[in-house]
């Protein structure tokens, strides 16, 4: 573990304005967010705020919002987000405290679906020579090698079923070697990783759930059992 808790102190400002109005960010502001396992999945619908949350967590740790490693900072001209500027962490003992105390000791990577290949290109990869999915997996094979904080925003977006399984293996390896992964995802495949902490994000804010209790798992189970039960409401006869 690298960090044990994320929190925000907001001494002034409109708590009804974005991003403080987003339910999961409101809860972060009021209670903080504790990390209880080396791998944490944030799961929610589009617009639930999970990407806002993981971007802020990445920026708070010193990772660029555009994506990339800790050694490549501020590639994005827009600078830090309001949330990223104010996020603070309680570090875990040992390696986490060393990283918190020393900027040069920090290790990590922010991988976001929209900018992943550009970010990898800046770091020495040749993304035009591989598929989108292979570019994602290349980051894990070559850049996710050291214990550090790895923040992922929907990494499954470009991956096939078998590639998602490979990704699960990379995430588990990082956790076993002392790294920490925080991942926003829609994938019931990724979230099935044994020992992971799953946080469902939505209008309720944030709540911890078991894999079988996830709404996305229930929907996929029902859809695969009977696709027409869903499609008849969407596709014209």
Q: What is the pLDDT along the chain (237 residues), one digit of tens a residue?
A: 899 999 998 876 678 889 999 999 999 999 999 999 999 999 999 999 999 999 999 999 988 887 877 766 555 555 678 899 999 999 988 877 887 767 667 788 888 877 766 776 776 666 566 666 776 787 777 778 888 999 999 989 888 999 999 999 999 999 999 999 999 999 999 999 999 999 999 999 999 999 999 999 999 999 999 999 999 989 877
What is the pTM assigned to this prediction? 0.91
CA dist., res. 63 & res. 151, Å (int): 9
Q: What structural domains and CATH numbers belong to the chain? A: 3-212 (3.40.50.11940)
Whether the CB-CB separation of 151 and 6 falls below 8 Å is answered with no
CA distances from 138 to 134, 185, 194 (A): 6, 19, 24
């Amino acid at each position: 573990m690298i960090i044990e808790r994320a929190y925000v102190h907001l001494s002034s400002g409109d708590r009804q304005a974005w991003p403080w109005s987003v339910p999961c960010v409101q809860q972060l502001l009021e209670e903080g967010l504790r990390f209880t396992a080396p791998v944490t999945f944030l799961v929610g619908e589009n617009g639930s705020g999970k990407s806002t949350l993981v971007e802020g967590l990445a920026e708070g740790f010193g990772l660029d919002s555009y994506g990339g490693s800790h050694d490549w900072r501020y590639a994005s001209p827009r600078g830090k987000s309001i949330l990223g500027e104010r996020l603070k962490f309680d570090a875990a003992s040992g390696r986490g405290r060393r990283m918190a105390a020393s900027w040069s000791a920090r290790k990590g990577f922010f991988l976001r679906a929209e900018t992943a290949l550009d970010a990898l290109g800046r770091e020495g990869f040749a993304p035009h020579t591989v598929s989108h999915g292979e570019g994602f997996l290349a980051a894990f094979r070559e850049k996710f090698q050291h214990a550090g904080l790895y923040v992922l925003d929907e990494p499954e977006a470009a991956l096939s079923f078998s590639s998602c399984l490979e990704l699960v293996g990379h995430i588990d390896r990082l956790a076993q070697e002392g790294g920490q992964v925080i991942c926003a995802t829609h994938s019931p495949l990724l979230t099935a990783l044994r020992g992971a902490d799953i946080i469902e994000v939505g209008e309720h804010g944030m709540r911890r759930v078991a894999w079988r209790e996830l709404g996305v798992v229930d929907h996929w189970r029902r859809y695969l059992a009977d696709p027409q039960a869903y499609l008849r409401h969407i596709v014209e006869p």
